[in-house]
Structure 1
């Protein structure tokens, strides 16, 4: 079998959406993928104009995702899409993902993985049953500096981990902009569309995933508080938690969408017995290493000899030429597509190829949301064991 580009279909991500264009740019960056079809919006005009903007033929711009799956499956195997990207509101994650897996198509899905924990378990079971490749776009673990953090911790450079601080402040929901048109706040603040959590589901899951990914430890218990600061909003717009991890580390997590003036000011700090690491998304190509008995070090990301192979695998440019958000997204797509290609060729994917969030991360993300909601709205301060 000859290696070839993978054919991608897309559900959601129309011109009026928030993240679809980022997905397309990231997917196409390595020239491994071509966009061949899509259903981009429930609005027929937006759907058609979005598809035409990607130069798709009109007969591959579908009115519904159900129609897309039916008509793509009727095409010859060497024409139909290989995988589907789903970038819809949360309540529309499960059904198209399940339909794709049932038809033998690989899946890239935006986070959180599903509307509910029950749906997440069913998707997990279907991925295990089919053996298909499933990626979840927890984008921040795609940064090379975050890869470097993870590798250094795994090698024991910090010693036994003690404390993690992870914070994700935004300010765009400081007022009830969901009552206005022309923004993406409506479904994110509606429990019927987003699921049980608002802020914690939207960005708190990113903070949780960074914690587990970098430390290599999993959360076992948490003590949480959820808040709704904006009057009239039916879902959380702020939250915080203390986390206990199975390797002995303790973490403090904060996520807020009412931190006025903040955009995506993510910061991750990890401290062990020997040293600490500090990464800030607003300066994504710099990693600070802190020691107790010598000056701190500044690690600059780029094709530098002092970076580990894990970070270099996901680095594209020489030092001083910044890589950012879209490149981090592209690293997830690149590793996902290389894994799919390897499987198509009957080869075993390498560890580097397999370094992307998967269905098990998605399931744990839904467990995190469920546990936060159970603990966070409780007036009594108490620890909540990780829910299964």
Structure 2
């Protein structure tokens, strides 16, 4: 059977080479063209042409000379941070967290807004205001914004999007019918990409957090449900129907019951112990710490139960995927998440138990910022660089063609 990656045209190959060189410069801006040529196994002339194209397009700028060798010192390049910007929106049931980053992946602005009107007009209006507010707060030109990434829980089955069993009939069942990506693309004129929140979290860790420099890891997002983002060879692994990582839907036993894992290992599992029978907290960021402080015994009981299942899940992921590490993120207060990770130890013996291990098998991810919004903000930047963006991303609106004569800085 023919590999679907074979047979690409010359234009695809040129874009792939540019993407590869940009990736190398992002990791090490001190690289000279000769060093890049050695790394990518292209001729010096080919790399010279690629870097010239990137320079002409405004994507890189000279970073100075590299001294220490023989002859004329070669020029090195760095990413042109202001050539483009990405916006990330982390859509939750009670709020939207928004961030704008530049092409060098530096955060320029962030906003958080409560989601008080769950109607289509209310949610769509909130997202539009946040996009406009971020652009104004960062002081960037709108034409340099390459797009918007929206992160939310979603699952695809037989071509349709389904919610977590915990959320069926709730907010997400309505919101996913709003086609927010289509609406936001129409409202803003920008390309819009919707990504699963756990995948966005994995991208955030890969770019900004404890996944930097790693090629293979798992990211668990313990929210109202439980999701997983799988990174293999430095990229998100999506599976045959774009549902890879739905670990919350694994069936487990609790006494005589068969439950989804996320019924226990999630914020809903915790809330079921500390506030049984209550509806979803209107503002989880503000209310959850107070609830936990007022129900310490119930919280500790949940930690004990959840840690048992987390320990089992770590063993399953390690023996199946052999990750370098497993990162866990959550809206839990940091001290509760740390306590959960602590109680999951000692972990079960698996293939991950190696003498040469330098990274913890299980650890909390990036804390103190919304890694999911950051990951969502990278998606329009990644899609714009992708030689075949439609093959990887579901996009509403038109992705900028960086290599048109106008270029990104026109």
User: Above 0.5 in TM-score?
Assistant: no
Q: Specify which structure has the higher proportion of helix.
A: 2
TM-score, normalised to structure 1's length?
0.34
